[in-house]
Structure 1
């Protein structure tokens, strides 16, 4: 049927031309973007799969960075442990040296002073080793204030008068008045024995006698009157009555007077003499009313020619490095005054070691898989160094086992870090391989095949040109109707 209003051939040609233009546009988009799927219309399922793969690839990159950060944390911690291990080795060497009975009390005191510096450096390293805001070597809990050891309170709590005020008419005895906590600064203790031999006695928790009157003066059977008047004539008596656990002393206490100085001929009774004992700078005026043991007549007569004899004593300590027990032993009454510049209510605040979670995988649609790096506290208290005393041969012998255990603990920490580091390295290698495989699979789904698309481009360009030519011819068909009309 010959018509002019409807050119069906032209409409068909235009339809195919539009399709050819659309396909050519899609091919050009793929070639210009490099992607086979540029919108959901290209391949809805493929786009969803490719997006999930991309999420995994991005997550793996972040996971790899986090694992490397975990390795850096462990390497930093192990570096600190390596330094602590060196310090422990030196401390153990000092303990072996101090265990030798050829050393004098002063020799062991010098060795113990070096150990105290080692312990302080161990604490400094453990508290200050920091990475990513974490302190992996710090204690996991704050050190709690010690206000009572056994039945003995701190001096601050035990005093019946304000600090710096005289407490008059006190009765001497063998029980500790109180203990002076570690960290106390500018301590001054004054007593006046009011004419009777009542003397200041200062002990460490392990029984080292720092200041006061020795148990035995001169001959082995010549017990000092200060102690004898209280029925204490042997070291066992002293341990039973004073140096016992109920009073707060260590269960491994051992009386030791090797670093004790007390006589006016060894101390300036007027001004005192300063010396370092167990790492503490102590100034002591001495026991001014000491007894002449060279006159062994059984009467314990005072020195007849001792013009320096006095009933007053003073002890000052610049900074207390370990708890000290104060007792005033004798058979009479005395006045006492205690003052200090600083007495801590508890240990200073310190950073805490906390667990660190490291994400090992975070695949699409799954919960994150984590490994926890536990803290490895390596401070002196955790390692047991607080109880080490190298001032006696027995204490040095006991310290050997403490150092062995501390070294073993540090070795265990380093073994944990080494094992986790190797595991993390393997995890990173596995993630790298996953990334390669996932990227290859995603490429097959999402990326354009340039060889295929280039071939398609040529084909569709030819079709477009052909459709354009056919459309032109189809548009000429209605003109044939004119030949049917009369001229």
Structure 2
């Protein structure tokens, strides 16, 4: 390239390439130092946006995994208390049976009743003292429970005219209060519907069956209401309206909710039954005489059955959290891999590029020095 006047075009060209190579080498060095393929938005704006969103999701999922671990710990503490109450109820049942022996007098029964009443008190103590992080777990303060009520006209009574063994359970954060279940079908058709309402919320599930006399076995989930109804031997030809025969209650306080996902709606609601003596039907029972012992024995049968249901519910929730935790671990692993593909630098490829740019930069420096020597040759013409 010729030299014209005082302009060293060759030096300018060498300088331009030197600056370009030095800038690229600097960018490559930044990527190698940070481990990130994108050190500024202009490197790859789309991947930066997606990768940042994935990074936020991963952070949320890691905390969700901590939440599931804490939930499992809480349930284990609650189950430990329920296990001890179960042992106490078995001992109380034994005392009630012993008190019904004809070889005892009321004097001996009064001695049995001393232990019986102490055990009733201990059930209350355990229910009140079983805590996690200061929160009481077994006294109804950490969840809601279903109260199916009683009476021969109650739909949920096993002796019901409509069905045998209809039960209800909480599947979500159901509102506290009285709920009514009703069923209607269109005469001459196969269309029917169940409706669950509490005066504010009304949730309907429709069914189609072959005829009006089909017997149904299964579960109906009222997702909006947060309640699941299990039907056994239910005759679709039977209709009942909302009323005392199909009424039950939801009691307790706010349910415990654990976020186990990215979105605020990704939650698992925990309901822990109230197992205080009053809730178990043990308040006022005694084994001081034969008649009282019979009543106490029947009450204990119901209490043991209710406690078994509470422990079964506890076990089901613990199993659910275990699977939720495993799913979170898998999700974090896969999302981390996706984020790495988008944001992490390929160290081998980038190091190769950096080495090449170093060579070009060094060559640029050398050539700029050579180009700067060219005007000296021009000065020799003036000698």
TM-score normalised to structure 1 length: 0.53
Matches within 5 A, 1:44-443: 44-140=45-141, 354-362=254-262, 366-443=263-340
Determine which structure has the larger helix proportion and give its number.
Answer: 2
CA contact (8 A) 2:272 2:314 kept: no
Whether 2:339 is the aligned partner of 1:449: answer no
CA contact (8 A) 1:17 1:467 kept: yes
CA contact (8 A) 1:136 1:353 kept: no
Give the C-alpha shift of residue 13 in structure 1.
1.5
Between the aligned partners of 2:68 and 2:141, the Cα distance in structure 1 is 23
Between the aligned partners of 1:138 and 1:357, the Cα distance in structure 2 is 17
CA contact (8 A) 1:126 1:379 kept: yes
CA contact (8 A) 2:127 2:275 kept: yes
**Number of residue pairs matched?**
273
Give the C-alpha shift of residue 472 in structure 1.
2.2
Give the C-alpha shift of residue 98 in structure 1.
1.5
| Unpaired stretches in structure 1, ≥5 consecutive residues | 142-351
CA contact (8 A) 1:134 1:354 kept: no
Give the C-alpha shift of residue 95 in structure 1.
1.0
Change (3 A) 1:2 1:452: closer
Please provide the CA RMSD for this pair: 2.0
Give the C-alpha shift of residue 114 in structure 1.
1.4
Give the C-alpha shift of residue 474 in structure 1.
2.6
Q: Give per-residue Cα distances to partners, 1:245-270, cap 9 Å, x unaligned.
A: xxxxxxxxxxxxxxxxxxxxxxxxxx
CA contact (8 A) 1:66 1:359 kept: yes
Give the C-alpha shift of residue 7 in structure 1.
2.4
| Unpaired stretches in structure 2, ≥5 consecutive residues | 143-251
Between the aligned partners of 1:133 and 1:353, the Cα distance in structure 2 is 16
**Which residue number in structure 2 is paired with residue 470 of structure 1?**
367
Give the C-alpha shift of residue 420 in structure 1.
0.9
**Which residue number in structure 1 is paired with residue 209 of structure 2?**
none
**Which residue number in structure 2 is paired with residue 17 of structure 1?**
18
TM-score normalised to structure 2 length: 0.67
Between the aligned partners of 1:126 and 1:353, the Cα distance in structure 2 is 15
CA contact (8 A) 2:35 2:344 kept: yes
Between the aligned partners of 1:424 and 1:459, the Cα distance in structure 2 is 52
Between the aligned partners of 1:8 and 1:23, the Cα distance in structure 2 is 23
**Which residue number in structure 1 is paired with residue 151 of structure 2?**
none
Give the C-alpha shift of residue 461 in structure 1.
1.2
The worse-fitting range, judged by mean Cα deviation, of 62-71 and 6-15 is: 6-15
**Which residue number in structure 2 is paired with residue 6 of structure 1?**
7
Give the C-alpha shift of residue 470 in structure 1.
2.2
CA contact (8 A) 1:134 1:353 kept: no
CA contact (8 A) 1:380 1:386 kept: yes
CA contact (8 A) 2:3 2:9 kept: no
Between the aligned partners of 1:462 and 1:130, the Cα distance in structure 2 is 68
**Which residue number in structure 1 is paired with residue 202 of structure 2?**
none
Q: Give per-residue Cα distances to partners, 1:41-81, cap 9 Å, x unaligned.
A: 32222222222121112111111111111111110111001
Give the C-alpha shift of residue 38 in structure 1.
2.0
Between the aligned partners of 1:382 and 1:388, the Cα distance in structure 2 is 13
Give the C-alpha shift of residue 409 in structure 1.
0.9
Give the C-alpha shift of residue 483 in structure 1.
5.6
**Which residue number in structure 1 is paired with residue 162 of structure 2?**
none
Q: Give per-residue Cα distances to partners, 1:205-243, cap 9 Å, x unaligned.
A: xxxxxxxxxxxxxxxxxxxxxxxxxxxxxxxxxxxxxxx
Partner-residue secondary structure (3-state), 1:84? helix
Q: Give per-residue Cα distances to partners, 1:169-189, cap 9 Å, x unaligned.
A: xxxxxxxxxxxxxxxxxxxxx
CA contact (8 A) 1:10 1:474 kept: yes
**Which residue number in structure 1 is paired with residue 239 of structure 2?**
none
Between the aligned partners of 1:2 and 1:36, the Cα distance in structure 2 is 42
Between the aligned partners of 1:129 and 1:373, the Cα distance in structure 2 is 16
Between the aligned partners of 2:265 and 2:345, the Cα distance in structure 1 is 33
Partner-residue secondary structure (3-state), 1:361? coil
The worse-fitting range, judged by mean Cα deviation, of 379-388 and 45-54 is: 45-54
